Amino acid sequence: MTAITAPGLAGPATAARPRIGREWTLALPLAAFFAVFFVTPLLLLVAVSLYADAEMTRFGLDQYIRFFGDAFNLAVLGSTLLLGVKVTALTLLFGYPLAWLYTRSGPRMQSALILVIILPLLTSVVVRTFAWIVILGRDGIVNNLLLSLGLAETPLRLLYTEGGLVAALVQVQMPLMVLPLITTLSRLDPNLLDASAALGAGPWRGFLKVTLPLSLPGIVAGCLLTYAAAVTAFITQSLVGGGQMLFMPQYIYQQTITLHNWPFAAAISIVFMVSVLGVVMLFNLLGRASKGYVHA
Amino acid sequence: MTLDRRQILAAGLTLGAMSLFPGMSWAQARKLVFATFTGSWEEAHRDVIVPHFRKATGNADIALDPMLSVDMIAKVSAAKANPPIDVMLMDPGPRLSVIGQDLAAPFPVADSKNYQDLLPVAQLPEGPGIFFQAVGITYNPEKVKTPPTSWDDLWKPEYKGRVGITNMNSTLGTAFMVELAKTRGGGENDIEPAFAALKELQPNLGAVAPNPGALATLFQQGQIDISPGNFNAIQILRARGVPVEFAKPKTGTIAFLTTAHITKNSPNAKLAAALIESAMAPEVQTKLMQAPFYVIPTNSKVQMDGDIARMIAKDQEELKASFVFHDWSVINQNRAGWIERFNKEIKV
C-alpha cells in the first residue's frame, strides 16, 4: 500500500519520517496544559512539604520525620490503603458476574443492563452518597426491614461504621469496575469456551482456565480505577464514614483547611500519593505478569 | 492584509484565552465581590443586604460568592496584591488569622452612621460584627419529652446511643469542647476536663459527624435525638418540618460574632465599606431577624421579636446576660494539639 502514496518521493521510509514529527506536535497543547496546571502545582506541593515549620520560614525534612515518627499517622495511612483493598475486592466479586451476564445476554437485555450500570454515573457522587445515608440510617430502609422481619430488636448502627462505608463505596464505584470488565469479556472468543467444553472441561474448569486468565487485563484495569477512586473518595468517606473515622483525604483536609499547616498537609499528600502509586504499580506488575501467562 | 492559517489560529487562541480569563482584559473595573456564607446565609444576604446596598449606592454592581471563611482566607492570601474578594465574612477563629496575616483593611469607623449603634462586643474597628451565631442544645421533641436545660443532660443514661456531636474541625465542635471544659473547671487553657467528659459520654454517642451540616441531617434520619447545635441550622430543619427544637443551656448560649472585613488592596474599598454599612443598618438587621432568616442582630436599635425573642433573647439586655463568648486567640494557639488528640482518642 505504501507504494501508492510514494509518487514524487524517494521511498516509503523517508515519506514516513516527517509525518511522525508533525503528529507529535498535536500533543503539545495538552502537554503544555499538563505542565502548567499539573506538573507545576505538583512541584510546588513537594516544595511546600519541605518547609520545616507551619509558618514556612526554613527548610528541612521535619514534616516527613513527624509523619513517620508517629504510629497514629501510619495507622491512618494503613487503614486508608486497606479500605481500598476491601472495596476493590468486593467490587470485583460483585462486578464480575454482572459483566459476565452482560456479555451472555441478548441485545435487548444488554441495553437494559448497560443503562443500570451507567445510571449511577449520571448522578453526582454527593447524591449517591446521601442515598446511602437514608439507606443506612437508624430509621433507614435496612433497619426498618430488619426490625419488621424480627431479625433485630433495636436498630443497628450501620451509618458511620466501616462496614457501611465499604458497602457505599462498592456501589458508588461499581461502574469503574464493570465497564473495563465488559470490554475485555466482550472481546473474548466464545469458541474458546466451546473448545474447552468439547475437550472435556466442566464449566468451572473452563472459567478458571480460559475465561479468568483471558479477562485479567480487564480485571487489572478495573481494580486500578476502583482502588484509586475508593482511597481518594473524600465525600463518601466523610459523609458515610463519619467524623471519627480518619482516612488520608480527611487528614489532608483537616491539616490544610482547619489548621493551616500547609507543610504537614503537603507532606501527608506526597506520602499518600507515593503509597497509592506503589499499590498501582503492583497492580500493573500483576497485569504484565498476566499477559505473559496468557501468551505462554 | 492577508490572513494565513497561523494568524487565524493565534487569534482564535487569544479569544479563547480571553473568554477563559476575562480578568486579563478588564482588571480594573470589576463588580464588588461579597464572599458570604453558603446556603441560607447566601439567600438571606441576597434578599436583604444586597437590595439595601444597591439602593444606597445607586445600583452599584455586586456579586455574591458563597464559601467558608477558611476558603476566603486561602483565596485572598493566594492573591494579596489583587484579591478576588472585596468583603469577607469571618467566624471568630478565622478572623484572628485574617488580622494576623494582615489581609484586611480597617473599617472607616469615623465615617460610619451605624457603627456606634452596635452592641459594644460587635464594635471592632478591624471589621465590625454584623450578626451573632448561637450554639445551644438541639433535640427532637418527639423523642426527648422533657426539654433539656443543661449540657449535663447529654450524659443522661436514657440517651444511650442517641447523642450526636461533630469533630473539632468545625467551630461548632471546638466551641462545644471549650464550653464543656469551662462547665467542668477547665477552659481555653485547660481542655483536659472536656476530653475526660467525652470519654464518659461514649456510651451515649450515636454519631460523630464530620461537619455541622451532616450533624443536622442526622436528626432528619432519626440517627440522633440530641446534640449541640447551631440555632440557624435548626431553623432550616424546622422550616422543612423536621421535629427539632433549640434549648438554651442554663450556663449560657455559646455565641460567636461574625465579622465583615474589607479586603486589603481591594479595588472597591469604598463600595466594600458601603456594603458593611448596609449590613449594620437597623432596618436591614430587623428584616434579617424575622422569618424565614432568623439572623441574630448586633445593632442595639433592633427590637427583638418572633423566634429570636422566644428562643434566644427577648431584648439586648438578656442577650448580653445569656451569651457566652470564648477567647479564640487562646483557642487558636491550642487547637492543632486538641484536634490531634481528638483524632487519636475519640472512637465510637
CATH number for the domain spanning B142: value is 3.40.190.10
pLDDT at B348 over 80: no
Helix axes A234-241 and A162-187, enclosed angle (nearest 10): 140
B182 vs B39: which has the higher pLDDT: B182
Contacts of B167 in chain A (CB under 8 A): 243-244
Write the pLDDT tens digit of every residue in B159-175: 998 999 999 988 899 99
Report in angstroms the alpha-carbon separations of A216 from A293, A295, B171, B249, B278. Answer: 10, 12, 49, 61, 65
Query: CB–CB of B222 and A138 under 8 A?
Result: yes
pLDDT the model gives residue B233 = 86
pLDDT the model gives residue B325 = 95
How many percent of chain B have pLDDT more than 90? 72
Q: B94 in helix, strand or coil?
A: helix
For residues B203 and B311, membership in a common domain is answered with: no
Interface check for B213 against chain A (CB to CB < 8 A): the answer is no
In-domain check, residue B181: yes
Write the pLDDT tens digit of every residue in B234-276: 888 888 889 999 999 999 999 999 999 999 999 999 999 999 9
Contacts of B344 in chain A (CB under 8 A): 72
Shortest distance, CA A277 to any CA of chain B (angstroms):
26
Query: CB–CB of B335 and A259 under 8 A?
Result: yes
Q: What is the DSSP letter of B166?
A: E
Contacts of B218 in chain A (CB under 8 A): 137, 159
In-domain check, residue B4: no
Query: CB–CB of B206 and A138 under 8 A?
Result: yes
Interface check for B112 against chain A (CB to CB < 8 A): the answer is no
Provide the domain limits for residue B146: 134-254+328-345
Interface check for A250 against chain B (CB to CB < 8 A): the answer is yes
Give the helix/strand (H/E) hosting B257. Answer: strand B253-263
pLDDT at B324 over 90: yes
* Count of structural domains, chain B: 2
For residue A35, what are the contacts with CB-CB under 8 A and spacing of at least 6? none
pLDDT the model gives residue A156 = 86
For residues B97 and B45, membership in a common domain is answered with: yes
- Radius of gyration for chain B, computed over Cα atoms and rounded to the nearest angstrom: 23
For residues B148 and B248, membership in a common domain is answered with: yes
Interface check for B167 against chain A (CB to CB < 8 A): the answer is yes
C-alpha closest to that of B40 among B294, B257, B283, B308: B294
Residue type, B287: K
Give the Cα separation of B255 and A235 in Å (integer): 29
Query: CB–CB of B210 and A72 under 8 A?
Result: no
Record the cell numbers describing residue A217, joined without a space.
487485563
- Tell me the fold of A57-295: MetI-like fold (1.10.3720)
For residues B192 and B212, membership in a common domain is answered with: yes
Report in angstroms the alpha-carbon separations of B267 from A67, B27, B30, B64, B272. Answer: 42, 10, 8, 16, 9
Distance of CA B15 to the CA centre of its chain: 40
For residues B224 and B335, membership in a common domain is answered with: yes
For residues B304 and B333, membership in a common domain is answered with: no
Give the Cα separation of B200 and B240 in Å (integer): 34
For residues B86 and B125, membership in a common domain is answered with: yes
Positions in chain A whose pLDDT score sits under 50: 1-16, 295-296
Helix axes B171-183 and B192-201, enclosed angle (nearest 10): 100
In-domain check, residue B54: yes
- Of the candidates B169, B222, B346, the beta carbon closest to that of A258 is on B169
A-facing residues of B in 59-88 (CB < 8 A) are 68, 70-71, 73-74
Q: What number of CA atoms fall less than 13 Å from residue B273's CA on the CB side?
A: 17
Computed over every residue of chain B, the mean pLDDT equals 89
Residue type, A195: A
Report in angstroms the alpha-carbon separations of A78 from A82, A83, A110, B299. Answer: 6, 8, 39, 52
Over range B128-135, report the average pLDDT: 96
In-domain check, residue B6: no
pLDDT the model gives residue B304 = 93
8 Å CB contact between B33 and B86: yes
pLDDT the model gives residue B169 = 87
pLDDT the model gives residue B106 = 96
> Which residue of chain B is at minimal alpha-carbon distance from A253?
B169
pLDDT the model gives residue A293 = 58
For residues B180 and B232, membership in a common domain is answered with: yes
Shortest distance, CA B180 to any CA of chain A (angstroms):
19
For residues B160 and B276, membership in a common domain is answered with: no
For residues B109 and B96, membership in a common domain is answered with: yes
Provide the pLDDT confidence category of residue B140 given band limits of 50, 70 and 90: very high
pLDDT at B101 over 50: yes
For residue B161, what are the contacts with CB-CB under 8 A and spacing of at least 6? A157, B203, B204, B205, B206
pLDDT the model gives residue A139 = 83
Contacts of A134 in chain B (CB under 8 A): 221
pLDDT at B52 over 60: yes
Contacts of B339 in chain A (CB under 8 A): 254, 258-259
Shortest distance, CA A241 to any CA of chain B (angstroms):
9
In-domain check, residue B188: yes
Over range B53-58, report the average pLDDT: 93
pLDDT the model gives residue A217 = 87
For residues B176 and B267, membership in a common domain is answered with: no
Domain residue limits, chain A: 57-295
For residues B78 and B114, membership in a common domain is answered with: yes
C-alpha closest to that of A252 among A274, A239, A268, A237: A268
- Of the candidates B169, B217, B218, the beta carbon closest to that of A254 is on B169
Record the cell numbers describing residue A183, joined without a space.
470490554
> Which residue of chain A is at minimal alpha-carbon distance from B165?
A243
Interface check for B346 against chain A (CB to CB < 8 A): the answer is yes
Interface check for A141 against chain B (CB to CB < 8 A): the answer is no
